[in-house]
Amino acid sequence: MSGDVVVVEAEIASLPYRAISRLATLVPELPGFARAAALVAVKLGISEGVGRRRDAGKVGSDAFDVARLLQRFGPDALADELTALGQPDFVERVSGLAQRHLVDDADHTAAAIIRSSVQGVQSIAADQLELLGRGFTRRLGAAG
């Protein structure tokens, strides 16, 4: 299992789109919180790594998934699990992505969520994203 976590970390850190298929085979093997923490890292990284080729609807959908995972498990629990699984430089990279997408660009991310929303799914406001992102990045920073 430990070797699998290192492979997952390497896949996320490099962020090529083709790595997602490999990661999808590893993530289900991780325990609950670790799986959620890995998914948060992946979804933050995908948005950053794929750039303009990325479907705008998928960007919003991934941002919504990140917010829902943070709401469900809590920023502290996910940050603690990510810190336990990852090397310090990996944790710092994920923290930077969270800072950018959930705090600094919360308005942009919230707008992407609204644009991609499936009817009947509650949107997440920019201030909620920022609050979740600040909690997550604060805890990640405290671990480093």
Give tens-digit pLDDT for 98-133: 999 999 999 999 988 888 876 666 778 999 999 999
> Would you say 130 and 106 are in contact if contact means Cβ atoms under 8 Å apart?
yes
Rounded CA separation 86/36 (Å): 14
Rounded CA separation 102/133 (Å): 5
Is 60 exceeded by the pLDDT of residue 54? Answer: yes
Q: What is the pTM of this model?
A: 0.74
Residue 130 in tokens: 């920022």
Lowest mean pLDDT segment, chosen from 31-35, 59-63, 70-74, 140-144: 31-35
For the four alpha carbons of 23, 57, 115 and 119, in that order, the dihedral sign comes to: negative
Kindly indicate the confidence band of residue 19, based on its pLDDT and cuts at 50, 70 and 90. Answer: very low
Kindly list the distances between the CA atom of residue 139 and the CA atoms of 4, 5, 112, 117, in Å, as whole numbers in the listed order: 25, 21, 25, 29
